[in-house]
Amino acid sequence: MSGPRRVIALGFFDGVHLGHGALLRRATEEAARLDAVPAAFTFDRHPNTVITGQPVPLIGSVEDRIWLMRHNYGIQEVIVAPFAAMQRMDWRDFIEKYLVGQLGAIHVVAGHDFHFGYMGKGNPERLRQACEELGIGCRIVPKVVQDGITISSTYIRTLIAQGEMERANQFLGHPHLLTDRVGHGKRIGSSTLGFPTVNLRPHEGVIVPAFGVYATRVWFDGTCREAVTNVGVRPTVRDNDGRVTIEGFLLDFQGDLYGHELRMEFFRHLRGERKFPSMEALAEEIRRNARQTREYFQQIRERQQ
């Protein structure tokens, strides 16, 4: 075996929620103990999308997964493998030839429901037995339960789709986030509403939160600004083309962020999207939402003191 010695957490990790966090935290702890590299293995696409042909809407992009694993749990390397190319691999070859032989795994961490290899024949018990035969460590992490509910990406997707962002964030263990490079919009915010705006494109295959207005935070260039963000089709705007947009109205900021990489964090659903009788009425409502947003984040700061 050549190359770095790795402790590898195994899973798809969509959303990188608290259940995933139990695996990732264990991997970093074992890596520190063994003087190895803490790593995570994931796929480029959800296995069910490839197997069934039916797309599974994801909580976040691959890039979001990688950032969360590194930032929140200290994972140094994230191996993103093409599922379509690996789905026919024998489960034992996956362990012996790929994890140990190619990636240099000396310890692996997996969840109680992890399946792998051709037709999903690999399971936690087979993983544990094979690792014991190979002389490498293995830890199977049991399910993580909160409020009597097993934390899962499926449940969190439902919460986000319904706009229940605060509850979703409780199970994620972090604010739901979307990352993108800022594109040009119609400059409705700056020209008409008095707020500079940023426009994000919904990522293909990534779930869009329920249409409506949210209290959000926007990170760019190492700084953070509070924002009122509309998700939807902007029915009040003239010449609306019907496309779904994610448009953030930045508070207490002046400038143009076109082309900047931006990370938007969702905290609270303020109201549903609706059509207003005029742009002036829309502007007044957004100013009210801005006051709500400021009050919301002020309450968070006071609780943290």
Domain ranges of the chain: 6-150, 176-304
- pLDDT attached to residue 48: 87
Name 43's Cβ contacts closer than 8 Å, sequence gap at least 6.
12, 80, 81, 82, 83, 86
% of the chain beyond a pLDDT of 90: 72
Q: What is the pLDDT of residues 173-229, one digit of tens each?
A: 999 999 988 876 544 445 456 778 898 988 889 999 999 999 999 999 889 999 999
Which CATH fold would you assign to the domain 176-304?
A: Elongation Factor Tu (Ef-tu); domain 3 (2.40.30)
Per the CB < 8 A criterion, the answer to whether 224 and 207 are in contact is no
The answer on pLDDT for 164 being more than 70 is: yes
Which residue reads 């509850």 in tokens?
167
Mean pLDDT of 149-175: 97
Per the CB < 8 A criterion, the answer to whether 135 and 35 are in contact is no
Higher pLDDT, 155 or 280: 155
- pLDDT attached to residue 84: 83
- pLDDT attached to residue 152: 96
- pLDDT attached to residue 54: 87
The answer on pLDDT for 234 being more than 90 is: no
The answer on pLDDT for 289 being more than 50 is: yes
Q: What is the pLDDT of residues 109-154, one digit of tens each?
A: 999 999 999 988 999 999 999 999 999 999 999 999 999 999 999 9
Mean pLDDT of 236-247: 79
Higher pLDDT, 50 or 183: 50
Q: What is the pLDDT of residues 78-87, one digit of tens each?
A: 999 998 888 8
- pLDDT attached to residue 191: 47
The answer on pLDDT for 37 being more than 70 is: yes
Structure tokens at 136: 């490498």
Computed over every residue of the chain, the mean pLDDT equals 92
The dihedral through the CA atoms of 125, 128, 131, 135 has a sign that is: negative
Which CATH fold would you assign to the domain 6-150?
A: Rossmann fold (3.40.50)
Structure tokens at 105: 């795994």
Q: Are strands 37-43 and 223-232 parallel, antiparallel or unpaired?
A: unpaired
Taken as a whole, the chain contains a residue count of 305
